[in-house]
Amino acid sequence: MSSLPRRTFLAAGAGSTLAAAASASAAPASAAKAYLDPSGDRHVYFTGDGVPLSPREWASVLLQVTQETDVALDSYSVGGPIEELEAKFAQKLGKEAAIFFGSGTQANLIAMRHVTAPDTKAIVPRESHYYADSVNTGPILSQLELIPMGKGRATFTFEEVKEEIEWNASLRGNKPVGAVMIESPVRRKDGEVFDFAEMKKICTYAREKGIRTHLDGARLFLSADYTGVSTREYADQFDTVYISLHKYFNGGCGAIVAGPKKYIEPMVDTRRMFGGALPKAWMYASVILHYMDGFEERYSSAVATTEKLWKTLDQHPRFRVERIPNGSNIVVLHVKGDAKRLGASLRKRGATISTGGPTSTDGWTSLSLRVNETSNRRSAEELASFFIEGLDA
Helix, strand, coil percent content, the chain, rounded in steps of 5: 45, 15, 40
The reply to whether 287 falls in a domain is no
Q: Is the pLDDT of residue 12 over 50?
A: no
The reply to whether 1 falls in a domain is no
Both 268 and 328 in one domain: the answer is no
Q: What is the pLDDT of residues 145-157, one digit of tens each?
A: 999 999 999 999 9
Both 274 and 313 in one domain: the answer is no
Q: Is the pLDDT of residue 275 over 90?
A: yes
Helices 339-349 & 380-391, crossing angle to 10 degrees?
A: 140
Domain holding 25: CATH number?
A: 3.90.1150.10
Q: Is the pLDDT of residue 4 over 70?
A: no
The reply to whether 11 falls in a domain is no
Both 263 and 355 in one domain: the answer is no
Domain of 385 in residue numbering reads as 19-54+294-391
The pLDDT score that the predictor gives to residue 260 is 98
Q: Is the pLDDT of residue 13 over 60?
A: no
CA distance 323 to 90: 33
Cβ atoms of 155 and 97 within 8 Å: the answer is no
Opening angle at CA 302, ends 129 and 30, nearest 5: 105
The pLDDT score that the predictor gives to residue 41 is 81
Cβ atoms of 389 and 383 within 8 Å: the answer is no
Domain holding 269: CATH number?
A: 3.40.640.10
The pLDDT score that the predictor gives to residue 233 is 98
Predicted confidence band of residue 318 (pLDDT cuts 50, 70, 90): very high
The pLDDT score that the predictor gives to residue 22 is 33
The pLDDT score that the predictor gives to residue 38 is 65
Q: CA–CA distance from 236 to each of 178, 200, 377 (Å)?
A: 19, 10, 34
Cβ atoms of 184 and 217 within 8 Å: the answer is yes
Predicted TM-score (pTM) of this structure: 0.90
Mean pLDDT over the full length of the chain: 91
> Where is the domain boundary, 279, 307, 341?
279
Q: Is the pLDDT of residue 196 over 90?
A: yes
Q: Is the pLDDT of residue 19 over 90?
A: no
> Where is the domain boundary, 220, 254, 279?
279
Question: What torsion do the CA atoms of 129, 134, 139, 144 make, to the nearest 10 degrees?
Answer: -40
The pLDDT score that the predictor gives to residue 36 is 63
The pLDDT score that the predictor gives to residue 154 is 98
The reply to whether 284 falls in a domain is no
Name the phi and psi angles at 334, rounded to 5.
-90, 125
Both 238 and 385 in one domain: the answer is no
The reply to whether 356 falls in a domain is yes
The mean-pLDDT minimum among 49-53, 106-110, 248-252, 389-393 falls in: 389-393
Both 322 and 275 in one domain: the answer is no
Provide the residue count of the chain.
Answer: 393
DSSP state of 160: H
Q: Please name the residues in contact with 78: beta carbons below 8 A apart, sequence gap of 6 or more.
A: 268, 277
Helix (H) or strand (E) holding 351: strand 351-352
Q: Is the pLDDT of residue 201 over 60?
A: yes
Q: Is the pLDDT of residue 125 over 50?
A: yes
2-10 long-range contacts (CB < 8 A, ≥24 apart) are 3/320, 3/322, 3/332, 3/334, 3/364, 3/366, 4/322, 4/323, 6/314, 6/320, 6/321, 7/323, 9/307, 9/310, 9/311, 9/314, 10/307
CA distance 61 to 328: 28
How many domains is the chain partitioned into structurally?
Answer: 2
Mean pLDDT of 116-139: 96
Q: Is the pLDDT of residue 170 over 70?
A: yes
CA distance 88 to 313: 39
Both 49 and 90 in one domain: the answer is no
Both 384 and 251 in one domain: the answer is no
The reply to whether 380 falls in a domain is yes
The pLDDT score that the predictor gives to residue 173 is 85
Both 340 and 249 in one domain: the answer is no
What is the rounded end-to-end Cα distance, in angstroms, of the chain? 27
Name the phi and psi angles at 8, rounded to 5.
-80, 130
Q: Is the pLDDT of residue 2 over 70?
A: no
Both 256 and 335 in one domain: the answer is no
Q: Is 188 helix (H, G, I), strand (E, B) or coil?
A: helix
Q: CA–CA distance from 115 to each of 120, 129, 200 (Å)?
A: 11, 17, 18
The mean-pLDDT minimum among 14-18, 104-108, 246-250, 374-378 falls in: 14-18
The reply to whether 267 falls in a domain is yes
346-349 long-range contacts (CB < 8 A, ≥24 apart) are 346/386, 346/387, 346/390, 348/393, 349/386, 349/389, 349/390
The pLDDT score that the predictor gives to residue 39 is 64
The mean-pLDDT minimum among 39-48, 105-114, 163-172, 185-194 falls in: 39-48
The pLDDT score that the predictor gives to residue 1 is 42
> Where is the domain boundary, 248, 279, 310?
279
Mean pLDDT of 34-41: 63
Q: Is the pLDDT of residue 224 over 70?
A: yes
Both 119 and 38 in one domain: the answer is no
Q: Centre a 10 Å sphere on the Cβ of residue 54 and count the other Cβ atoms it contains.
A: 11
| 15-48 exposure pattern, b = at least 16 Cβ within 10 A, e = fewer | bebbebeeeeeebeeebeeebbbbebbbbbbbee
The reply to whether 6 falls in a domain is no
Q: Is the pLDDT of residue 251 over 80?
A: yes
Both 192 and 241 in one domain: the answer is yes
| 160-190 exposure pattern, b = at least 16 Cβ within 10 A, e = fewer | ebeebbeebeeeeeeebbbbbbbbbbbbbbb
Q: What is the pLDDT of residues 282-301, one digit of tens each?
A: 999 999 999 999 999 999 99
Both 273 and 300 in one domain: the answer is no
CA distance 147 to 58: 41
Mean pLDDT of 137-141: 96
Predicted confidence band of residue 29 (pLDDT cuts 50, 70, 90): very low
What strands, in cross-sheet order, belong to the sheet with 330-336?
A: 319-323, 330-336, 364-370
Cβ atoms of 281 and 251 within 8 Å: the answer is no
